[in-house]
Amino acid sequence: MTESRSKDDVAERIARLRAEINYHAYRYYTLDDPIISDAEYDQLMQELRQLEEAYPELITPDSPTQRVGAPPRPEFRKVIHPVPMTSLSNAFNDEDMRAWLTRIKRLLPEDLPLDELAFVVEPKFDGLAVALTYEGGVLVRGATRGDGVEGEDVTENLRTVKNIPLRIPVTPDGPSPPARIEVRGEVYLPIADFNQLNQEQMAKGERLYANPRNAAAGSVRQLDSRITARRRLAFFAYAIGYLEGGPSFTSHWEALGYLKELGFPVSPDIRRTRDFEEVLRFIREWRERRDHLPYEADGMVIKVDSLVLQRRLGIVGNAPRWAIAYKFPPREATTRVLSIEVNVGRTGVLTPYAVLEPINVGGVTVRQATLHNFEDLMRKDIRVGDTVIVIRAGDVIPQVVKPIIERRPPDSRPYSMPTHCPSCGERVIKPEGEVAVYCVNAACPAQLVRRIEHFVSRGAMDIVGFGERIAEQLVEAGLLSDVGDIYSLKDKRERLLELEGFGEKKVDNLLRAIEASKQQPLERVVTALGIRGVGSVVAKTLVEHFPSLDALGAATEEDLQRVEGIGPEIARSVVEWFARPRHQEVLRKLRAAGVRTEAMPRVTEGAAPLRGLTFVITGTLPTLSRDQARALIEAAGGKVTDSVSRKTDYLVLGENPGSKLDKARELGTKIIDETTLLQMTGQGQVLSTKG
């Protein structure tokens, strides 16, 4: 804002901002269907707030800064909150937090002994705020926050949330119920259930939810509570709105304890401290953990613990001074689609993805996002040049939710489906009744690269150091025409050395790791084959019933279906896989190379040389990966643990060992190398023949 800006200009800008914010608030709160990201919305609000601060005479009661949330939907009965449900002011960094601390200290009585000032730090659950009223221990009403003063009556819907008590106390030994209590908290949808819901929505051709919060809100504000019941919503309690005929407390912490005693779910991650630096530390810790939580937390809420001090600090506008929300970086963002590319999977399925203008989403730079499948892409009509909403929830792959039509460039053109495979150029096919589009060319290089990647991957043959890049290089150089060729690479040493980035050492390591993988148990070999529908769990089941590749290959669909856990689709897929001459050729190569084709015999008395012995592995072993070494020891009847103790019999020592070596020396544990381990397990012979 410049000094020279006239008041008329400001008034005009304020009017525009209000109109824009009102529209987006309506899309967000009433329709649960936002078209801009939270960050952009916050920015508009921020600008409006700043202008209003500079020109307080321009504030009107209907300005969006003057209210808490959204107006209730006309379809629901209204509920007036006896105690208004306020909002929270925000902090975005440590500096904001310290400024908050200074502010509240200034407002507190001077004679306050500083150790009276304690803080409660809680996750800021990203869902929908609700108030639950219990009379004589019975849930009589559940309401949304609405605009803070008036909410919506969603009692029937909230009754379907599994961990909301319908009657308190929940346990027979809990305190007797108060005459009346209003419990406040957040209804949320766990991330896994959110992803599943969106997948189901997609399969039904219905709209996707932008984030777990919109999904939770959309689920609670259903007119048909049977729909709410099908969504796996959950609840966390974080405050008492009011309490009659119950105990009295002096702190928020005590109130939370009471809620817990009554049987309300209270987050186990809530902490109390007098040390403000610890508050900041705890916030940092949480920001790190955020991606690994089962639910979405968009920040932390920091509250002054003492209820006396809370009262003293009071409320300004619609936010209490005694609490503040520290917001994490947002998980959704808008960015532009630079191009739409197609990935070819191991089974030939073509999957579209968007290449994006790089954007930070919740602390991670996102350059690509999945577009799921062509049907979804066409239905949403996502185009190159579009501005799109991108989300990233937890650890999952970023997804494009939808385009913002309002921001579409006028010259954009709809995407057209590929008619040919982007890798091999063969015509693609779309089987009747299937969403997927396939490349069915058996020699398609992209598919081969994916099959190799899968074969060598950690969950399959676990060939250490053999990654995506190497798979691509080897296919490009014509050194591999199927996964069976991996085992004849040792005869092509010279050719390998010619490849970019391949030196003697790298080639040696790679060939050694390939040799070692021949010892992998049969279930890993079966997983590695890449039969559709056969992952590691199914492979294990199959191997238990068909303990060799011969037995598995000879099984009919009926034989297979007799096995618990094997349905008609997997049975057909297995039989079809073995029927292909191309796959028989792969099997021939694996057998010739000496890859394990039979299950390891069950450990019996005689064949368990390591029975009763406990091993710890440290450092990098020359040929075996950790998992392989563990499997070998276990197959020989031994046990592997993570840390050295007096019960440890042997420490298996590799390169760059950790502190376990010191510990072993201290305790006098026997230390052996890989070769000794192989000899002890009776595998020494097999592996020492390698070149």
Single out the residue of 301, 471, 516, 538 in contact with ligand IVH (rule: CB under 6 A).
Answer: 301
Single out the residue of 320, 330, 394, 521 in contact with ligand IVH (rule: CB under 6 A).
Answer: 320
Of the pair 163, 561, the CB lying nearest ligand IVH is at 163
Q: Answer yes or no: are the C-beta atoms of 180 and 140 closer than 8 Å.
A: no
Of how many residues is the chain composed?
691
- Nearest approach, Cβ of 320 to ligand IVH (angstroms)? 5
Single out the residue of 30, 65, 86, 368 in contact with ligand IVH (rule: CB under 6 A).
Answer: 86
What are 534's two structure tokens?
Answer: 């056969």
Of the pair 145, 383, the CB lying nearest ligand IVH is at 145
- Nearest approach, Cβ of 303 to ligand IVH (angstroms)? 7
Residue 235 as a binder of ligand IVH (CB under 6 A): the answer is no
Residue 296 as a binder of ligand IVH (CB under 6 A): the answer is no
Residue 65 as a binder of ligand IVH (CB under 6 A): the answer is no
Of the pair 209, 235, the CB lying nearest ligand IVH is at 235
Q: Please tell me the chain's helix, strand, coil percentages from 3-state DSSP, rounded to the nearest 5.
A: 40, 20, 40
Stretch that binds ligand IVH, among 16-24, 118-126, 587-595, 618-626 (CB under 6 A): 118-126
CA distance 256 to 262: 10
Of the pair 121, 621, the CB lying nearest ligand IVH is at 121
CA distance 67 to 56: 16
In the bound state, the residue with its beta carbon closest to ligand IVH is: 129
Residue 454 as a binder of ligand IVH (CB under 6 A): the answer is no
> Which residues, at least 6 apart from 202, have a Cβ–Cβ distance to it below 8 Å?
208, 372, 376
- Which 8-state DSSP code applies to residue 329? P
What are 517's two structure tokens?
Answer: 């993988």
Report how far Cα 581 is from the mean position of its chain's Cα atoms.
40
Of the pair 323, 377, the CB lying nearest ligand IVH is at 323
Single out the residue of 17, 88, 489, 600 in contact with ligand IVH (rule: CB under 6 A).
Answer: 88
Subset of residues 174 to 203 that bind ligand IVH, contact rule: CB under 6 A:
186
Cβ of 515: how many Cβ atoms within 10 Å? Answer: 20
Q: Among 218, 211, 191, 196, which residue's Cα sits nearest to residue 332?
A: 211
Single out the residue of 67, 124, 231, 327 in contact with ligand IVH (rule: CB under 6 A).
Answer: 124
Of the pair 259, 325, the CB lying nearest ligand IVH is at 325
Residue 456 as a binder of ligand IVH (CB under 6 A): the answer is no
- Nearest approach, Cβ of 186 to ligand IVH (angstroms)? 5
Residue 81 as a binder of ligand IVH (CB under 6 A): the answer is no
CA distance 119 to 102: 14
CA distance 384 to 396: 24
- Nearest approach, Cβ of 237 to ligand IVH (angstroms)? 9
Residue 328 as a binder of ligand IVH (CB under 6 A): the answer is no
Is the omega angle on the peptide bond into residue 169 within 30 degrees of 0, that is, cis? yes
CA distance 278 to 273: 7
Q: Across-strand partners of 144?
A: 130
Alpha helices in 486-623 (DSSP H): 493-498, 504-516, 522-528, 536-545, 549-554, 557-561, 568-579, 581-593
Q: Answer yes or no: are the C-beta atoms of 267 and 208 closer than 8 Å.
A: no
Residue 87 as a binder of ligand IVH (CB under 6 A): the answer is yes
The SS3 of residue 449 is helix
> Which residues, at least 6 apart from 512, have a Cβ–Cβ distance to it below 8 Å?
622, 623, 690
CA distance 54 to 1: 10
Alpha helices in 290-370 (DSSP H): 307-313
Residue 146 as a binder of ligand IVH (CB under 6 A): the answer is no
Residue 152 as a binder of ligand IVH (CB under 6 A): the answer is no
- Nearest approach, Cβ of 97 to ligand IVH (angstroms)? 16
Q: Answer yes or no: are the C-beta atoms of 371 and 3 closer than 8 Å.
A: no
The SS3 of residue 524 is helix
Q: Answer yes or no: are the C-beta atoms of 254 and 169 closer than 8 Å.
A: no
Of the pair 313, 633, the CB lying nearest ligand IVH is at 313
Rounded CA Rg of the chain? 31
Stretch that binds ligand IVH, among 59-67, 117-125, 247-255, 576-584 (CB under 6 A): 117-125
Say whether 124 is catalytic: yes
Residue 255 as a binder of ligand IVH (CB under 6 A): the answer is no
Residue 217 as a binder of ligand IVH (CB under 6 A): the answer is no
- Nearest approach, Cβ of 29 to ligand IVH (angstroms)? 11
Residue 70 as a binder of ligand IVH (CB under 6 A): the answer is no
Stretch that binds ligand IVH, among 80-88, 431-439, 603-611, 626-634 (CB under 6 A): 80-88
Residue 238 as a binder of ligand IVH (CB under 6 A): the answer is yes
Of the pair 236, 415, the CB lying nearest ligand IVH is at 236
CA distance 532 to 577: 8
Q: Among 160, 265, 295, which residue's Cα sits nearest to residue 221?
A: 160
Q: Answer yes or no: are the C-beta atoms of 447 and 423 closer than 8 Å.
A: yes
One of 7, 78, 124, 327 is an active-site residue; which one?
124
What are 476's two structure tokens?
Answer: 């490009």
Residue 279 as a binder of ligand IVH (CB under 6 A): the answer is no
Of the pair 24, 124, the CB lying nearest ligand IVH is at 124
- Nearest approach, Cβ of 130 to ligand IVH (angstroms)? 8
Single out the residue of 36, 210, 239, 461 in contact with ligand IVH (rule: CB under 6 A).
Answer: 239
- Nearest approach, Cβ of 437 to ligand IVH (angstroms)? 43
Residues in contact with ligand IVH by CB under 6 A are: 86-88, 122, 124-125, 129, 145, 186, 238-239, 301, 320, 323, 325
Residues with active-site annotation: 124
